[in-house]
Structure 1
């Protein structure tokens, strides 16, 4: 009985020690990155920046979003094209009665995007018709 208790006690202490040593990451500096002697390959493309550059990063993201919005606004719709997924949400769907549009067939839906009404086949997401305002 004493041998079994000793084995259990040793097993538990070993298990506790293993959990403590693997509990958290090991960092060498105050930024949280383990630079070590890994060279370029070990850093996996990370760039180490100060917090002062955070405003520049936010500005770059904002400009990139604005360029994307402008690009989408300039998009020319054509029949036969596939409707991009980000336009398939309920916020772009319109009722055909509100825009004086012809009634869509089964599995078709009208969308209003950039002052254009676009009729889309719900099964294939292909553009069937385009009506400007």
Structure 2
């Protein structure tokens, strides 16, 4: 019985130690930060989650700033960013002329823009 427990303990220790070697990281993180190792290849030098979120937020803010500076003009296509329901307004509530069929009023940067819903082209702009 004593031999059985010794064999069982030695066998399980061997199995668990070999499993731990497989579960470890496949590269040395310190070496990757210094620029060595196989991580220098294409696509492996990605920012961590926090940096990625910060970069995405900065990109979105730059895009919004560009869209705020956008000069609206009849005949132009309205950017997709503004086509959501959050920008749509009711013409009655804002004393606007009634839109025609397949037309919708949007309020963007204190301007009211009448857009053709079929091709998203700007028909009319009313600034207040």
- In the other structure, the counterpart of 1:19 is none
State the SS of the aligned residue for 2:93: coil
Q: What's the offset of the Cα at 1:48?
A: 5.7
Compute the RMSD of aligned alpha carbons.
3.1
Deviation of 1:86 after TM superposition, in Å, equals 1.7
Q: How many residues align?
A: 100
Using the size of structure 2 for normalisation, the TM-score is: 0.63
Normalising by structure 1, report the TM-score.
Answer: 0.61
Give distance in 2, aligned partners of 1:56 and 1:29: 21
Aligned to 1:130: 125
Task: Note the 1:1-133 alignment, pairs <5 A.
Answer: 28-29=26-27, 43-47=41-45, 58-133=53-128
Kindly state the Cα deviation for residue 66 of structure 1 after the two structures are TM-superposed.
2.5
In the alignment, the residues of structure 1 paired with residue 70 and residue 50 of structure 2 have an alpha-carbon distance, to the nearest angstrom, of 31
In 1, Cα distance between equivalents of 2:118 and 2:51: 43
Is there any run of 5+ residues in structure 2 with no aligned partner, and where? Answer: 1-24
Does the residue aligned with 1:71 lie in a helix, a strand or coil?
Answer: helix
SS of 1:101 mapped into structure 2: coil
SS at match of 2:62: helix
Gapped runs of 5+ residues in structure 1?
A: 1-26
